Each structure stands twice: as C-alpha cells, then as structure tokens.
Amino acid sequence: MGTDVKITILGCGGSGGTPLICGHWGNCDENEPKNKRTRASIAIQSETTTIIIDTGADFRQQILRENITDIDAVIYSHSHADHINGFDDLRYASIKQRINGQDDYITPIHADEITLNNMKSIFPYMFVISDDGLYRPLISDNVFNDGEDITIGDITVQTFRQIHGSGASNGFRIGNIGYSTDVSEMTDAGLAKLQGIHTWIVDCGQYGSTEDELTVHPNLERVLRWNETVGASKLYLTHLTPRQDYQIINIETPNYIQCAYDGLKLMTSV
C-alpha cells in the first residue's frame, strides 16, 4: 500500500508575482481571483509529513493561507531570489517546535551544492552561531546530488537536473506527479525520470513567445515537445507572469492543459 500525498500549489507566479509591485496586472483580468499569483512553490503532505519546495518572498503568506502548522523539511530547486527570499521565515518553524517542547528542533533543508553555497553567502547568519553566542542555527543543511532521491518521513521525492538559461535547477517527481519550475530545457535524464507520470506541473513562463525569444523559461510548444516523451495526461502551467491571463490561456489550450493557480490541490500516492 502506498502513502496518500496531497500536493498544494502554494504559488504559481513568476519572479515578481501577479500583480507586480505598484499594481501592474499586465494582460491579466484583476477581477479573476486565479490571476492573483504568489511566487512559485509547492507543499507535499501526507498525514504525518510536510515538505515544502522553495521559500520565496511570499513563503509566510502561503503557509498561513494554507494553514500549514508544521514543516518537516524544505527542498530547494535553485537559488534564484524568487525561490529563496523567504528563507529567514523558516527560523520560526523551528522556534514553534521548540516552544511546543522539542527543545533542540532544527528544520532540515535540502539543496544541491551550488544552491546551498549561494544561500550560505546570502544568509550566512542562518548557518552559524553569532559571535556573541546568542543566535544559533535553526536549520540543518543537507546536500543532494543530481538524480538523488530524498526521503523525509513517509514521503520520497525523486530529483533530476534541469537546464535554466545559462544555469541549472532541480525538478521533482512525487508519485505520479512531476514538478518542473524554472526550466528552459529538459535533460534526457529528467525526461526519463518523469516518464509514466499522469500530471505535470510545468513551467510555461514564456507562454506566447516564439522559439527565438525564449531565454530562461519555455513556451507551450516546447512544453508539448517535452511531453511527447513524458506522456503526462494532464499539464498544469506554472511560473506564470502578468502577460498570461488564467481564463484566456484555458480557452486557448486543450482541456488537458490548464493554468495552475494558488491553492490548487492534487493527490497522488508514493
């Protein structure tokens, strides 16, 4: 018997969210609630375990919105600002556990070596004891290698490498659901890892762009080309920007393709 797992889209927005700062909605209808998007992140939850992928600037808001009361681990796709800038708030997940009696509780994070080194450079105080000894680390850092599985509690998350512009990111498979944000090209290993999934939450941040306009995100045509190998029967488009209206994209695409939205919940088994 597998473990039932719920995946919640905490955020499906691009690096600036929708609307952008100062109320810029772009092509999005501001009266459509599903156009209001926070930064890209998901929660993976069984009855006993909660894993978060990425802690962007909206992390606190997302956790409160979904009434998530405990966090067992965080896994990072990469170290771009919109995926890590809420990292400081993770301290309070550990503090809550300590208040509730787990005196030495430390929240584990998992990232590849480059991502972890970048985070240590940006948030050094999260990883070391302060000079006066008053502040101590409330997280523990764990490196995972390309393609390595990560098991937290009763949930196993499979990882794979992706190309993201001139850099890289990590994608994930949880049971029969794939999660690929911030990807401009899929690797052969990544496509192989995703084969057999039924649902793919996949970056389409440059929906509507031509091939020669693509930089760090894909358009729909590229996603569909990848899916010829992956074979997912349902695609949820994520990392969407104010250029991409929820209702318009759903009208323009076949029924098996749909915009993700903040708060969307999916089920799988691991």
Beta bridge partners of 41: 11
Q: Using the 8-state DSSP alphabet, how is residue 33 labeled?
A: G
| pLDDT tens column, 188-227 | 999 999 999 999 999 999 999 999 999 999 999 999 999 9
| pLDDT tens column, 150-179 | 999 999 999 999 999 999 999 999 999 999
Selection from 120, 175, 123, 161 nearest residue 142 by Cα: 120
Classified as helix, coil or strand, 21 is coil
Least confident of 39-43, 132-136, 222-226, 236-240: 132-136
pTM: 0.97
Q: Which helix (H) or strand (E) holds 256?
A: none
Distance between CA 190 and CA 228 in Å, rounded? 13
Q: Do 144 and 129 contact (CB within 8 A), yes or no?
A: no
Where do we find the tokens 């600002």?
A: 81
- In degrees, rounded to 5, the angle at the alpha carbon of residue 256 between the alpha carbons of residues 236 and 78 is 20
| pLDDT tens column, 9-37 | 999 999 999 999 999 999 999 999 999 99
Q: Do 229 and 30 contact (CB within 8 A), yes or no?
A: no
Beta bridge partners of 240: 13
> What domains are there in the chain, each with its CATH number?
4-269 (3.60.15.10)
Selection from 157, 121, 109, 214 nearest residue 5 by Cα: 157
